[in-house]
Amino acid sequence: MKSLGYRIEPVNTNEIKKIYLELTNRCNLHCKICYRNNWDFRSFDMSDELLSKILGEIQSVEGLESIVIGGIGEPTVHPRFEEVLERLKDYPIHVTTNGTNLTEERMTKMVKRVQTVTVSVDGMEDSFQKIRGEKLSLIIENLQRLQQIKKDMKSELPKLDIQFVISKDNDDDLLAVIDLTKSLNADCLIVSNLIPQTEETKNSIMYTLYPTENTKGNLNQIRYYAWKQNVNIYIPAMALKTERRCDFIEDVTTFITAYGDIVPCYRLSQNSQEFVFGRKKMVKKYRFGNLKDKGLLEIWNSDEYRKFRYTIYNNHYPSCPDCDLVEGCELPKKADEDCYGNGTSCSDCLWSRNFVICP
């Protein structure tokens, strides 16, 4: 199904370019700024039966360019994590991790099987301890060891990316994290913004609706410092811009949760609450089917999922943050409908505005 002048799908309906595979929603940390804090879910590992089915289903997908092993939880706590790496050895694998659970054996297998690993470092010693409840020294030791194992095995992979979620609680640490990125010989530093989940954190954001001279000056300082240190850095938007781009849709991506649900993205994978420029918003999980009942490509090609991708790709949904009526409107309080008649709304999505960046 196509519409003149608009893309709706790849020509090949068996084609998915990127799959997020959430082995578990459990995590061994309880980070202060994590968007899990207000998500409505129970801790759950993907079952052996479901995992085996998914690994088989992936074989039917064409054009697969990346499998991201991550999600809400910490993937290395799943008992079959290393087996999954082996089963998916023919695909480019990207692992997102907090870096605390990287044993010697696990890192050796990652060097053999993983193309990219992204590790969260949200500040230096004091900030990191306050945010993550863990010592930064553990992460540094693990990553130094990972780089040494790569050297010993004469491998350039996996590429190491550092991710830093910036807020008013840790922004003073960013230049030092750039230094750390360089010292670890990491490939890049990805800076993302905070998604407030609580009243306590809603005023901790660094981004604003409209650009300010102070923000511009700070961004220039950060870019210049990273350039001097020869560190590749990705910086998010710090003020609202007209352009909207959903990477999940643009990159032809789907997300498989630990329950086997097929959802479009991180944001719509669980019931939750968030604060968008101080406004409280309830977000409802939006799934298109479950792999216990249907096949992956059957769900991917369903009318509902195709219509959703078409709507988001072509920007057929409103923009709440810069709407003149937002303060008096009831619709932005929830994400299950909008003024364009969409049943699930992305009108307040911080990812699509490039405030939030995901691997």
For 172, the token pair is: 């003073």
* pLDDT tens by residue, 321-343: 999 999 999 999 998 899 999 99
Structural domains for the chain: 14-353 (3.20.20.70)
Predicted confidence (pLDDT) at residue 307 exceeds the cutoff of 80: yes
H-helix segments, 134-290: 136-152, 174-183, 213-228, 247-250
Rounded Cα–Cα distance for residues 290 and 331 (Å): 28
Rounded average pLDDT over 289-305: 96
Predicted confidence (pLDDT) at residue 9 exceeds the cutoff of 80: no
Amino acid 12: pLDDT: 60
Q: Left, alpha or beta for 28 (phi > 0: left; psi -120 to 50: alpha)? A: alpha
- Cβ count within 10 A of residue 217: 10
Amino acid 5: pLDDT: 45
What is residue 47's DSSP assignment? P
**What percent of the chain is modeled with pLDDT above 70?**
96
Candidates 30, 27, 118; CA nearest to 72 is 27
Sign of CA pseudo-dihedral 304, 297, 79, 76: negative
* pLDDT tens by residue, 248-278: 999 999 999 999 999 999 999 989 899 999 9
Please give the backbone phi and psi of residue 221, each rounded to the nearest 5 degrees, phi first.
-65, -45
* pLDDT tens by residue, 109-167: 999 999 999 999 999 999 999 999 999 999 999 999 999 999 999 999 999 999 999 99
